[in-house]
Amino acid sequence: MFLGHLILAYCAIKIFQKQINNRHAMENNFSEDYQYNSCTSRGICSINPRISSLQEILVLYLKQTAYYMLKLQDKSYKNDAIKNLILNTLSVMVSNTSFSEIDFEMITNHFNKLLPEIIQKYEDICAKDGIEPEHIKTVLEYNTENDIIKSIRIGEAEFRKIINKIPKQIYSMYKLMFVIAKSICTNVQDLETFGEDSEEGYTTILIILNQLNSENTTTNEIKNILNKIAEVNHNLMKKLRETQIKRYGKQQENNVSYTTTPGKAILVVGSNIRELEIISEALKDTNIDIYTHDEMMLAHTFPFFQKYNNLKGQFGKGIENCLLDFATFPGPIIITRHSLYNIENLYRGRLFSTDPANTRGVIPIRENNFEEVIKSAEDSKGFKSGKTCRNEIIGFEYEKIAEKIKSEIDSDQYSQVFVIGLGGYTQEQQNYIKKLIEKTPDNILIISLSYYIEKDNVICLNACFDTYAVTYIAEYISSISDIKITIFFPTCDRHTISKMIYFTSKNIARVFVGACIPIIVNPNLITTLNKIYGIESFSTVKNDLNKILNKI
């Protein structure tokens, strides 16, 4: 097995030799182009048709369960086992795009056990109250003998039935609802890791899933639901950030190291910084160094994490290049919950995960027991000599930036504000934003969160992976002024759809969006967002500026 890992790592290194030689630039400039995208070249950010069909079956279970749980909630009935099953199933569908047949069987077995129980509970309550129970039809059989081939066929048939029965735009809006449901699920579960209850979020998920049962509805009805659930999700994101600040202190600017030092090491991947805290506590008295990857870099902006001496810094940059980053890291990798990786494409043997369901070859971490991770780190080669790289200054103090923005707006020299969100790593995206900033008239204030260009009308910040920064800045501006706001999302994260709907439904801002990886947003959904909310895809800088400035 070890030889197989070496061969695969060697192949990855040979394929990406150009990137390795240019590693210094890749790791230390947040607006550098990686030139290579693992998402598109290896399908790491896509879902294969087999998994899509199995996910259709999981959606059937979720819709059925939500229907009966809402009926029972009206009777003040709660079931924590069902709640955990729904959230964990959505969690798997958020992040684990390569879950195995064993995982599928495990999830459906839980539904097959619990769903008949709550249906019986519903019937018992109806009988007690002297009312006729209202059931919905289903192709599910609720048995424990899972036939994967049969399940795939049922999933494909269900997909075809929906496509043929529901108008295309309604179907796309349902997909938008499901995307937001997964976003809400992520926020609910992240809040729960801090001990924060979020019953409203869970109930909203049930409402969304139950709405998917409806075949007779209008565009306006679904739009109203989308507006409401996007607002609920906005409040959850805000509460999560407030909870993080309460525990870890107010965010601040920090000089994050990309230097690797000699010694054993682990890599922590994902966005749940509460899990990074747990891992850091477990390893604080060891000689094992900790490096962050992708969105976990955000933790470095919180003062709390500076107390961990073995939390060294960032390794690699993000999901777009995880194949290279993972293959060259000389130690175990912990993939935290909700991480967006199709890890069946990645090398095995040193991959660990805290997700409830894992791909074959990924070792599960249960009840925060990191003994196997520590042993794997000790047995791995670690960094032999390390490599010195430039640091990167990330983060900012929210209150100070708010004061600066207010001062600029109060000067009355600007007619509009452009907020440019977190950037991706493609050359096309960088060229678009660079040209946009250069061509934007001087009487428009630009707040750029990840692209640095010196210009008098530009406030440049390195928000790193702080997806909440756009929300905070846009809402703050709208609270102090009626100045027109346009938000540019160069790329998408798991919460972007919800944010775009919130901004437009509340008339906070006009929205433009760049390329989104398929694992997060199907391109067809952007078309629907344009029709329903006026959200536009990037075209050319000239054309987009003319639209905003009302020249066309």
**In the chain, where the domains are located:** 2-30+251-379, 49-247, 397-548
Q: Give yes or no for residue 416 having a pLDDT over 50.
A: yes
Q: Give yes or no for residue 397 having a pLDDT over 80.
A: yes
Q: Give yes or no for residue 362 having a pLDDT over 50.
A: yes
Pairing of strands 351-353, 333-335: parallel
- Does 164 or 33 have the greater pLDDT score? 164
Identity of residue 503:
F
Q: Give yes or no for residue 442 having a pLDDT over 50.
A: yes
Lowest mean pLDDT among 31-35, 156-160, 210-214, 274-278: 31-35
Question: Across the strands, what pairs with 268?
Answer: 292, 334
Q: What is the mean pLDDT of the segment spanning 429-438?
A: 92
The reply to whether 397-548 shares the fold of 2-30+251-379 is yes
Q: Give yes or no for residue 41 having a pLDDT over 60.
A: no
Q: What pLDDT does residue 234 have?
A: 97
| 3 state DSSP class of 37 | coil
pTM of the model: 0.85
- Does 24 or 217 have the greater pLDDT score? 217
Copy the structure tokens of residue 245.
């600040």
Class of the 397-548 domain? alpha beta
**Residue 265: left (phi > 0), alpha (psi -120 to 50), or beta?**
beta
Q: What pLDDT does residue 31 have?
A: 36
- Crossing angle (nearest 10°) for helices 496-505 and 468-480: 10
On average, the pLDDT of the chain sits at 84
Copy the structure tokens of residue 150.
């049969």
Phi first, then psi: what are they for 289, rounded to 5°?
-85, 150
Q: What is the mean pLDDT of the segment spanning 309-327?
A: 82
Best-predicted range by mean pLDDT among 32-46, 112-126, 347-361?
A: 112-126
Share above pLDDT 70 across residues of the chain, in percent, rounded to a whole number: 82
Give the other-Cβ count within 10 Å of 1's Cβ: 8
Estimate to the nearest angstrom the gap between the alpha carbon of 157 and the chain centroid.
Answer: 29
Quick one: 481 exposed, middle or buried, by C-beta within 10 A (0-12, 13-18, 19+)? middle
pLDDT per residue over 473-504, tens digit each? 999 999 999 999 999 999 888 899 999 999 99
Class of the 2-30+251-379 domain? alpha beta
List CB contacts of 352: < 8 A, sequence separation 6 or more: 332, 333, 334, 335, 362, 363, 364, 365, 372, 373, 376
List CB contacts of 58: < 8 A, sequence separation 6 or more: 89, 92, 93, 104, 107, 108
Q: What is the mean pLDDT of the segment spanning 48-65?
A: 80
Q: What pLDDT does residue 354 have?
A: 80
How far is 463 from 448, CA to CA, in rounded Å?
9
Copy the structure tokens of residue 405.
């923005």
DSSP E strands in 249-376: the ranges are 254-256, 265-269, 289-293, 311-314, 333-335, 351-353, 363-364
Give the other-Cβ count within 10 Å of 264's Cβ: 21
Q: What is the mean pLDDT of the segment spanning 355-382?
A: 82
pLDDT per residue over 89-100, tens digit each? 888 776 545 556
Confidence grade of residue 277 (pLDDT, cut at 50, 70, 90): very high
Under DSSP, the state recorded for 134 is -
Q: What is the mean pLDDT of the segment spanning 419-427?
A: 81
How far is 271 from 287, CA to CA, in rounded Å?
24
Confidence grade of residue 464 (pLDDT, cut at 50, 70, 90): confident
